Chains A and B, each alone.
Chain A
Amino acid sequence: MQKSIPLLMIVPSLLMAMAIIGYPILDLAWTSSQEVSRFGKLTGFAGWENFAEVFGDQLFWDSLWRTGIWTFFVVVGTLAVSLPVAIILNDDFYGRGLARVIIMLPWSVSLTMTAVVWRWALNGRAGLLNATLMDIGIIDQPVEWLATASTAFVVEILVGILVSIPFTTTILLGGLSAMPQDTYEAAMVDGASGWHQFRYITLPLMKPFINIAIVLNVIYVFNSLPIIWVMTEGGPANGTDILVTYLYKLAFRFGQLGKAAAISLIMFGVLLVFTLLYVALVSRGEEDAAPEDEKEA
């Protein structure tokens, strides 16, 4: 009885959350099994037809592959930059407050605006980036960054990393400031170098925070439309399309809402599977690592 009271107390909010999260998903699943007119009217049962069409579409598979690349590199790149940044910002130095503000600042600008600014900056003739690079002599001809898919996609990943840094740094800073200082003092007494402290104290203790940063970033980045949409609309020649930009075109340009619903359901499934797998992997890893007596508690 005692144990069930807390459970009972969260039941109402749990139900509400399930309704709010669950209803759109059910509606989406329903839509994806229907023939849908250009204006969202359901015109008949389609069964698996929408899915069959999606799976038979080469652009879908290309976009799926590119979504994987996009998500992997943005998330890994973000972590690789954010962790050192967070460690530096955690140290006490003159002007730290200002440095923290500067790192956080991009967060306050909407993604779309950031993307618009980069689109201008990357303009071949009039862009600031080419002008700067030519001034300091790195290139002598303007580079059309967004003209080919290969350079455009790399640039978009870099911008994706840039805009993900503030959020990730915040999570990691939170973890670092909760770190027990006496462990470091003990390690220093034992003669551990800076790298050893990082490798054997910081990194293991930061693991839960890094994990949450990975999961949340994967979800955000996987679903992120504005950067790619504003900079190239998935072009040239669909070479930078990820699932969400392709989905947007299908739904709002071509009016294929059924097919678009099927893709968003697939995207939801991919993310769900990833999150479950990742959480399972992480918790198993933690159990293996935990000493016996801790397991008891």
Chain B
Amino acid sequence: MTNPFRTSTAALALGLGMLASGAYAETVVDFTVAEYSSKTGPYFQKVADDFTAANPDIKINIEVVPWDTLLQRLTTDVAGGNAPDISIIGTRWLLDFASQGVAEPVDGYLTPEFKDSFIGTFMNPGIIDGKMMGLPVAASARAMMVNMDIYDKAGVAPPTTWDELYAASKKIAELPDVYAFGLQGKEIETDAYFYYNLWTHGGDILNADGTSGLDSEAAITSAKLYKQMIDEGLTQPSPTNYTREDVFNMFKQGQLATIFTFPMLIPQIKEEAPNLHYKILPFPEAGAKATYGVTDTLMMFSDSDVKEAAWKFIEFAYQDKYREEFDLGEGFLPVTKNVAALDHFTSDPDVAGFAAGLPYAKFAPVIANWEEIADVTVRTLQQIYLGDVTPEDGLKAAAAEINKIRGL
């Protein structure tokens, strides 16, 4: 059903369009967007279209890149001199970008009113050497999610402490076809799954003096606990074959009683497993309360020639209506005060469950070589889970290696 007339009109229009764009002195802002879900690309395209409709002389060129390849992509873009003008990045990378002079401080652009629209907690990770190196664009906190059907069946209450979690898991493990605790052991954020445990035992990634906290008493206790749960069949078998998504998928299928997760799972569950009776609860404690706060940053590149236009777009995109659509669509916690005050974010028990931890949230330390340090941690955890090393030996070696990477 190709209509030759329509095709030629389209070609003509395209030609005219190109002529037209050549005639104006048009500013093009290249914006690299991290793909959170299938909704991310269309959402930002819509915001960009609205913006261009209001500012015909500025065109926003959106490029959507999956998270897995984003850092590699930006590295090669910067190395090849083709860096975009603005990009969404993981805040954990920000120090590398800032220390190499790739990131542009935004203090000069940020009006007091605009600055005041953000929630302070989420601004802090973007401050390096007293300068604001980017704006928080997405935030999440982590929490425990339990399958109430399984807990009810086993006749146990959802736990608030690690001892209770262990005891409840023992009971649940006796049920057929389900596993008590989903433990991630493969790929991105394998280390985070351990930090939840470490933090709630009172440990930390880094000690006060900057050395690795992996050889602390708390770290060894928490690693031993995970290993014990693996050995006693309280987790799914062979955690080193389970990525975050694999664990979450098992939870959706009703095969896991307890997981540690992020708010983005809620829209997925509502869509894929609407009959699942889940509950969001704080992480179990063993002496300390903690959650993991994660933010992503909207960063401007110092090489950009169109910073003014890029900033104009940023201010446009942070309007409440766009932020609301973004946070709702992707399942994030709001980073701006106005959106946080909206009904959905104050009354929804799921969001409230995740947001409850924010006052005591921990963020990944802003240090150089973070990815390498995380890699050492993941490797060590996998060795411990597999039984190749004891928690004591493994963590001591890992701490020494991390201290070496940190130059301490």
Q: Which residues of A does B touch, CB under 8 Å? A: 37-41, 123-126, 142, 144-148, 232-233, 235-238, 249, 251-257
What separation, in Å, do the CA atoms of A251 and B75 have in the docked complex? 9
A140 to chain B, nearest CB (A): 14
What separation, in Å, do the CA atoms of A72 and B41 have in the docked complex? 44
0 or 1 for each of B174-214: is its CB under 8 Å from A? (1 = yes): 00000000000111000000000000000000000000000
B372 touches A253 (CB 8 A): yes
Binds A, one of B26-34, B236-244, B354-362: B236-244
B96 touches A255 (CB 8 A): yes
Q: Which residues on the B side are within 8 Å of A146 (C-beta)?
A: 186, 241
Specify the main secondary structure of chain B where it touches its partner.
helix
What separation, in Å, do the CA atoms of A4 and B377 have in the docked complex? 63
Q: Does B273 contact A (CB under 8 A)?
A: no
Q: Which residues on the A side are within 8 Å of B78 (C-beta)?
A: 39-40
Further contacts, 6 of them, CB under 8 A, given A124-B237, A144-B240: A125-B236, A142-B237, A236-B186, A237-B383, A237-B388, A255-B371
A150 to chain B, nearest CB (A): 10
A147 touches B100 (CB 8 A): no
0 or 1 for each of B47-74: is its CB under 8 Å from A? (1 = yes): 0000000000000000000000001100
A236 touches B386 (CB 8 A): yes
What separation, in Å, do the CA atoms of A203 and B299 have in the docked complex? 63
Q: Which residues on the B side are within 8 Å of A39 (C-beta)?
A: 75, 78-79, 100, 102
A41 touches B241 (CB 8 A): no
Q: Which residues of B does A touch, CB under 8 Å? A: 71-72, 75-76, 78-80, 96, 100, 102, 185-187, 236-241, 246, 249-250, 255, 369, 371-372, 375, 378-380, 382-383, 385-386, 388
B382 touches A236 (CB 8 A): yes
A235 touches B102 (CB 8 A): no
| Residue with the greatest number of chain A CB neighbours at <10 A, chosen from B79, B185, B236 | B79
A42 to chain B, nearest CB (A): 10
B75 touches A40 (CB 8 A): yes
Q: List 17 A–B pairs whose Cβ atoms lie within 8 Å, in order of A's numbering.
A: A38-B96, A39-B100, A40-B78, A40-B79, A40-B80, A146-B186, A235-B187, A235-B382, A236-B385, A237-B383, A237-B386, A238-B379, A249-B375, A251-B75, A254-B375, A255-B96, A255-B371
A123 touches B246 (CB 8 A): yes
Select from chain B the residue with minimum beta-carbon distance to A152.
Answer: B241
Q: Which residues on the B side are within 8 Å of A257 (C-beta)?
A: 79
**Given the contacts A37-B100, A39-B78, A144 and B382 also touching, CB distance less than 8 Å:** no
| Residue with the greatest number of chain A CB neighbours at <10 A, chosen from B239, B240, B246, B388 | B240
Q: Which residues on the A side are within 8 Å of B249 (C-beta)?
A: 126
What separation, in Å, do the CA atoms of A142 and B242 have in the docked complex? 14
Specify the main secondary structure of chain A where it touches its partner.
loop
A148 touches B375 (CB 8 A): no
Q: Which residues on the A side are within 8 Å of B371 (C-beta)?
A: 253-255
- The residue that A38 contacts in the complex, of B75, B236, B382, with Cβ under 8 A, is B75
A41 touches B240 (CB 8 A): no
B290 to chain A, nearest CB (A): 26
Q: Which residues on the A side are within 8 Å of B238 (C-beta)?
A: 124, 144, 147-148
Q: Which residues on the B side are within 8 Å of A123 (C-beta)?
A: 241, 246
A147 touches B240 (CB 8 A): yes
B375 touches A237 (CB 8 A): no
What separation, in Å, do the CA atoms of A41 and B76 have in the docked complex? 11
**Given the contacts A37-B100, A39-B75, A41-B79, A124 and B379 also touching, CB distance less than 8 Å:** no
B372 to chain A, nearest CB (A): 4
**Given the contacts A40-B78, A253-B372, A235 and B72 also touching, CB distance less than 8 Å:** no
| Residue with the greatest number of chain A CB neighbours at <10 A, chosen from B102, B236, B238, B385 | B238
Q: Which residues on the B side are within 8 Å of A124 (C-beta)?
A: 237-238, 241
B71 touches A253 (CB 8 A): yes
Q: Which residues on the A side are within 8 Å of B385 (C-beta)?
A: 236
B185 touches A236 (CB 8 A): yes
A229 to chain B, nearest CB (A): 10
| Residue with the greatest number of chain B CB neighbours at <10 A, chosen from A147, A252, A254 | A147
What separation, in Å, do the CA atoms of A126 and B243 have in the docked complex? 13
What separation, in Å, do the CA atoms of A145 and B378 have in the docked complex? 19
What separation, in Å, do the CA atoms of A124 and B246 have in the docked complex? 10
Q: Which residues on the B side are within 8 Å of A249 (C-beta)?
A: 375
Q: Which residues on the A side are within 8 Å of B372 (C-beta)?
A: 253-254, 256
What separation, in Å, do the CA atoms of A37 and B378 have in the docked complex? 25
What separation, in Å, do the CA atoms of A40 and B96 have in the docked complex? 13
What separation, in Å, do the CA atoms of A253 and B236 have in the docked complex? 29
What separation, in Å, do the CA atoms of A124 and B242 have in the docked complex? 9
A113 to chain B, nearest CB (A): 15
- The residue that B240 contacts in the complex, of A40, A125, A236, A251, with Cβ under 8 A, is A236
What separation, in Å, do the CA atoms of A238 and B255 have in the docked complex? 29
- The residue that A252 contacts in the complex, of B71, B383, B386, B388, with Cβ under 8 A, is B71
A237 touches B75 (CB 8 A): no
Q: Which residues on the A side are within 8 Å of B96 (C-beta)?
A: 38, 255
A233 touches B375 (CB 8 A): no
Q: Which residues on the A side are within 8 Å of B237 (C-beta)?
A: 124, 142, 144
B100 touches A41 (CB 8 A): yes
Select from chain A the residue with minimum beta-carbon distance to B381.
Answer: A237
Q: Which residues on the B side are within 8 Å of A254 (C-beta)?
A: 369, 371-372, 375
- The residue that A148 contacts in the complex, of B71, B240, B369, with Cβ under 8 A, is B240
What separation, in Å, do the CA atoms of A267 and B237 have in the docked complex? 37
A211 to chain B, nearest CB (A): 37
